[in-house]
Amino acid sequence: MSIIARKACVTGRVQGVWFRKNTRDQAEKLGVTGWAVNADDGSVQVHAQGDADQVEALMQWLWKGSPLSRVDHVQVQECDCLELDGFTTG
Residue 88, domain member (yes or no)? no
| pLDDT per residue rounded down to tens, the chain (90 residues) | 789 999 999 999 999 999 999 999 999 999 999 999 999 999 999 999 999 999 999 999 999 999 999 999 999 999 999 999 899 998
- Three-point CA angle 35, 70, 50, nearest 5°: 25
Q: Is the dihedral of CA 47, 72, 21, 30 positive or negative?
A: negative
Residue 17 lies in a domain: yes
DSSP state of 74: E
Our count of domains for the chain comes to: 1
88: three-class secondary structure by DSSP: strand
Domain assignment present for residue 8? The answer is yes
End-to-end C-alpha distance for the chain, whole angstroms: 28
Residue 23 belongs to domain with CATH number: 3.30.70.100
Please report the pLDDT score of residue 17 as a whole number. 97
Provide the whole-model pTM. 0.95
Collapse the DSSP code of 78 into the 3-class scheme (helix H, G, I; strand E, B; otherwise coil) and give the result. Answer: strand
Instruction: Please report whether residue 87 resides in a domain.
Output: no
Containing structural domain, residue 32: 3-81
Residue 46 contacts residue 23 (beta carbons within 8 Å): yes
Catalytic residues: 20, 38
